[in-house]
Amino acid sequence: MFAFGRRVAVLALAATSLGAQQTRPITFDDFSAMRGVSDPQLAPDGRQLLYAVRTTDVAANRRSTRTFVLALSGGAPRAWPNDNTVAAEARWSPTGRQVAFTSGGQLWIAEADGTQARALTTLSGGASGPVWSRAGDRIAFTSGVYPDCSDDACSAAKSKAASDSKVKAHIADQLMFRHWNAYDDGTRQHLFVVKPDGSELRDLVPGARFDVPPGPFGGSEGYAFSPDGREVAFTAKAQGRADAWTTDANVYTVPATGGAAQPITAGNKGADQNPLYSADGKWIFYASQAKAGNESDKWRLMAYDRAAKSARELLPMWDRWAESYVVSGDGRTVIVGAGDRGRDKFFRVVLDGAGKATTPSVIMSEHNNTGASLSDDGRTIVWLRDATERPAEVWVGTLGAGGAVQQARALTHENDALVAMLTLHPAEDFGYVGAAGDSVFGFVVKPPQWQPGKKFPVLLLIHGGPQGAWLDSWGSRWAPQMFASGGYGLVILNPHGSTGYGQKFVDAVSRDWGGKTYDDLMKGVDAALKQNSWMDSTHMAAAGGSYGGYMVNWMAGHTNRFKALVSHAGVFNLESMAGATEEQWFVDNEFSGPWWNANAMASQYRKFSPHLFAKHFKTPTLVIHGEQDYRVPYTEGLSLFTALQRQNVPSRLLVFPDEGHWISKPQNSQLWWGEMHKWLGTYLNPRPSM
């Protein structure tokens, strides 16, 4: 095995020698070889960086993540804590002298240089998400437990009994018995604290029948210590049997030494999450949605006054979502991450002594920016930046007196050599007039084979959600460059329902699934064709996943302008989907209620369901689904395929028994891309070679 320093030197030499060579389209081997950079953590003094790198081994059908450390002053990164330890979720102690991390599913601690690594936990439910107290005397984390158990031995025994049993039946007495891609096995994620020497391990929510934070996507951003270390705030959704039809999660506080947890956001019936204390301990910042049952309402940045026990919105006039936020060491500056017109950007908010906020000013808008981390003095910032033509790398800059990021530069170069070999065109912004006369925006991406004067087939990509957005980003699953590699010009649109264009625009898709959004997509294709003469209007296809799959199914019954369609995890029958999906609040909000509601049935389920237009299907369609998809059950895909086959419409079914809503295993992903390009290549000439 080569030392890491030599690997960097070899890659740098390769990148230099490739400068004069001809580049080529990306392949699946290239795509899987890209190193996934994430989780940048700046040391408190701003001198060192910890970050994670995910690699893919297609032959072994697995992905693994390692942690690296890099000095901001220069030099090569090295594996941390050492070459032999697989470390993740690495977090600096407040002094920067130690690092907490997870390895082998347990919580560990080591000196900053990686020495003296030792395990702090041996819990049967594992450990994840370490967060230090400001004093460095405790570490919070989460672990899976059986709520009825009072100790880990009991949880371990229950887990072993379930594993050893020959009976694998699922029994449920209430809804939310399964979520996304897993059945409820009776365990819950609880919030624990432990001292850095491994003593005083304590479950802060013993007996709780809810998860901290709510699953399946919540992480360590869901809890935080107060500055004095005496209190922990956390996110939880404790709604019992109503969990399936309410979004009402709350922020709670609990003594760090144990005691009764108290909600501080009970008055709001929408979702509240991700608490963060101000440096002086006066405020708890958190994100909040005002509308009950609407998972896509505006995420407001709130400030809870701990003395007055009241909360207020910090930025009531700002029409963007507060998706992330970090606070400077002096508590005066908040860096807010928000999607804005197809890109994740950073905004600066300044607080006065009374906690009043200035209007957000954008400080980072080029390409896509996430994962900000600040030094204690608030002068150095690191973050992740990616783009349609560039995988994520860690960037670094200095926050000037006026808030602008100065001297921004890429700090890591994990993918430079490979990117230098490839022809990767950037996303080109364009706009047009969509439904209701509104301005709609999107991107066009040229294929790597593009040449002036030549025509190329067109592929329309439709995002899911429906409240989501295509961003100027690399993409780990629906990667634009992988689609374009087949020789297709991409039309990537953000129609009504997309985030980053104001909440009114987001709300416009609800209870209108086949309306304005469909009009936007058709008008957007027309606009792209008009503005790009190299696009071949006679050879076009469309592909989408989740709501994007729904829209493909809807289009199949309403237009014949496409030569081929691809529906991934697409909703086909609104009634059957509503009865089988787990998050009932979603269908209630999107369709005005459950399907037995007469008004909802007439105005939504029987108006916008693609299955009611199946008799019009004529376009060849590839249908893809995962059997472990509990958001959009895979029977939706089976029903769609049946309708296509019964009417002799050319169609192909691809079902993954070991995947959920997304296709994530490397070899499954390889097959997914292979079938995708095979299908598109059959109907869009020329056929790509993959």
* Cα distances (Å, whole numbers) of residue 519 to 281, 516, 528, 548, 619: 50, 5, 14, 14, 19
Closest-CA residue to 57 (of 45, 49, 48, 66): 66
Q: Is 45 exposed, middle or buried (0-12, 13-18, 19+ CB in 10 A)?
A: middle
Helical pair 516-531 and 547-556, crossing angle rounded to 10 deg: 80
Q: What is the pLDDT of residue 265?
A: 98
Cβ 414 vs Cβ 40: under 8 Å: no
**pLDDT digits over 536-555, tens only?**
999 999 999 999 999 999 99
Q: Per-residue confidence at 687, pLDDT binned at 50, 70, 90?
A: very low
Q: What is the pLDDT of residue 257?
A: 96
Quote the strand ranges of 341-389, DSSP E: 343-350, 361-364, 368-374, 380-387
Once rounded to an integer, what is the mean pLDDT over residues 243-268? 97
What gap in Å lies between CA 600 and CA 598, rounded to an integer? 5
Q: What is the DSSP letter of 210?
A: S
Q: What is the pLDDT of residue 225?
A: 98
Q: Per-residue confidence at 480, pLDDT binned at 50, 70, 90?
A: very high
**DSSP β-bridge partners for residue 357:** 351
What gap in Å lies between CA 211 and CA 249, rounded to an integer? 11
Pick the CATH number of 423-573+609-683 from 3.40.50.1820, 3.90.650.10, 3.40.50.2000, 3.30.390.10: 3.40.50.1820
**pLDDT digits over 645-659, tens only?**
999 999 999 999 999
Task: Please check the confidence at residue 122 and state whether its pLDDT lies above 80.
Answer: yes
The owner of tokens 């696009």 is: 535
Assigned token pair, 653: 């079914």
Q: What is the pLDDT of residue 686?
A: 53
Task: Please check the confidence at residue 688 and state whether its pLDDT lies above 70.
Answer: no
**pLDDT digits over 449-477, tens only?**
999 999 999 999 999 999 999 999 999 99
Residue percentage of the chain with pLDDT more than 90: 93
Q: In one letter, which amino acid is 673?
A: W
Q: What is the pLDDT of residue 330?
A: 82
Residue percentage of the chain with pLDDT more than 70: 96
String of DSSP letters for 83-109: TT---EEEEE-TTSSEEEEEETTEEEE
What gap in Å lies between CA 549 and CA 32, rounded to an integer? 24
What gap in Å lies between CA 678 and CA 529, rounded to an integer? 24
Task: Please check the confidence at residue 3 and state whether its pLDDT lies above 50.
Answer: no
What is the distance in angstroms between the CA of the first residue and the CA of the last residue of the chain?
31
Show me where the domains of the chain are located: 97-165+175-418, 423-573+609-683
The owner of tokens 């264009």 is: 501
Note the helical H segments in 388-461.
Answer: 416-419
What gap in Å lies between CA 301 and CA 280, rounded to an integer? 18
Supply the mean pLDDT for the chain.
Answer: 94
Phi (first) and psi of residue 37, to 5 degrees:
-85, 135
Q: What is the pLDDT of residue 15?
A: 43
**DSSP β-bridge partners for residue 80:** 67
Assigned token pair, 655: 């079902």
Q: What is the pLDDT of residue 10?
A: 36
Assigned token pair, 559: 């237009």
Q: What is the pLDDT of residue 331?
A: 81
**pLDDT digits over 597-655, tens only?**
999 999 999 999 999 999 999 999 999 999 999 999 999 999 999 999 999 999 999 99
Sequence-distant (≥ 6) Cβ neighbours of residue 30 within 8 angstroms: 418, 421, 422
String of DSSP letters for 120-171: S---TT--EEEEE-TTSS-EEEEEEE-TT-SSHHHHHHHHHHHHH-S-----
Phi (first) and psi of residue 674, to 5 degrees:
-60, -45
**DSSP β-bridge partners for residue 63:** 56
What gap in Å lies between CA 293 and CA 598, rounded to an integer? 20
**pLDDT digits over 367-419, tens only?**
999 999 999 999 999 999 999 999 999 999 999 877 789 999 999 999 999 99
Q: Per-residue confidence at 332, pLDDT binned at 50, 70, 90?
A: confident
Q: How many CA within 13 A on the CB side of residue 21? A: 13
Pick the CATH number of 97-165+175-418 from 3.40.30.10, 3.50.50.60, 3.40.190.10, 2.120.10.30: 2.120.10.30
Once rounded to an integer, what is the mean pLDDT over residues 153-177? 96
Cβ 286 vs Cβ 272: under 8 Å: yes
* Cα distances (Å, whole numbers) of residue 540 to 98, 307, 563: 56, 61, 6
The pTM assigned to this predicted structure is 0.95
Cβ 188 vs Cβ 179: under 8 Å: no
Phi (first) and psi of residue 350, to 5 degrees:
-110, 135
What gap in Å lies between CA 535 and CA 445, rounded to an integer? 11
Q: Is 260 exposed, middle or buried (0-12, 13-18, 19+ CB in 10 A)?
A: exposed
Q: How, if at all, do strands 283-288 and 300-305 pair?
A: antiparallel
Task: Please check the confidence at residue 8 and state whether its pLDDT lies above 50.
Answer: no
Query: CB count, 10 Å around CB of 356?
Result: 11
Q: What is the pLDDT of residue 7?
A: 35
Cβ 578 vs Cβ 592: under 8 Å: no
Query: CB count, 10 Å around CB of 173?
Result: 6
**pLDDT digits over 48-102, tens only?**
999 999 999 999 999 999 999 999 998 999 999 999 999 999 999 999 999 999 9
Sequence-distant (≥ 6) Cβ neighbours of residue 627 within 8 angstroms: 634, 655, 656, 657, 658, 659
